[in-house]
Amino acid sequence: MTKRASVALACAASMVFAFGAMAKTADSNIGTWKLNTVKSRFNPSRMPTRQTLKIDEWGADGMKYAADGIDADGRTTHSEFQVKYDGTFVPVTGNPDANTLAVTRVASNTIESTLRLNGKQMAIVRIVVSDDGRTMTMTQTGTNAAKQDVHNTIVYDKQ
């Protein structure tokens, strides 16, 4: 192979790699999110006084999630998990209503999560990030560990 052909091949390979990287859709969930207590509704749960989500990319198609806050009774809360968007159940810590969850991507700005407690499905959470990327809305329906029906709409603002 001539030097000129090698350079041309290297340039072509670089362009394919660059275009492939640009074509990858950014994960709209990634970032730091703060609970908007004015726009959120918890039923029957009591609203936390403060909560911050930190969501980072994890692997090729997944996220690392950590939530820290203060519950309605003033207690510190923390939950976390790492999950791929492939529907596989993984452990979650710090959530009294679930000890495993699975996540699938529904659209570029929408994911759904299924929460289980000791193998029993508890809730479905649909998470939608607004088109401008500034608001995340979680709609949670199902049952909590106290066997109450849950209908929460939780709104977060991007920080």
Would 17 be classed as within a structural domain?
A: no
Task: Identify which has the larger pLDDT, 57 or 4.
Answer: 57
> pLDDT tens-digit profile of 87-111?
999 999 999 999 999 999 999 999 9
Would 18 be classed as within a structural domain?
A: no
Question: Per the confidence metrics, is the pTM higher than 0.85?
Answer: no
Would 15 be classed as within a structural domain?
A: no
Would 87 be classed as within a structural domain?
A: yes
CB 157 within 8 A of CB 133: no
Give percent above pLDDT 70 in the chain. Answer: 84
- The mean of the pLDDT values for the chain is 88
SS3 23: helix
Would 74 be classed as within a structural domain?
A: yes
CATH number of the domain to which 78 belongs:
2.40.128.20
How many domains are there within the chain?
1
pLDDT at 9 over 60: no
Mean pLDDT in residue range 80-93: 98
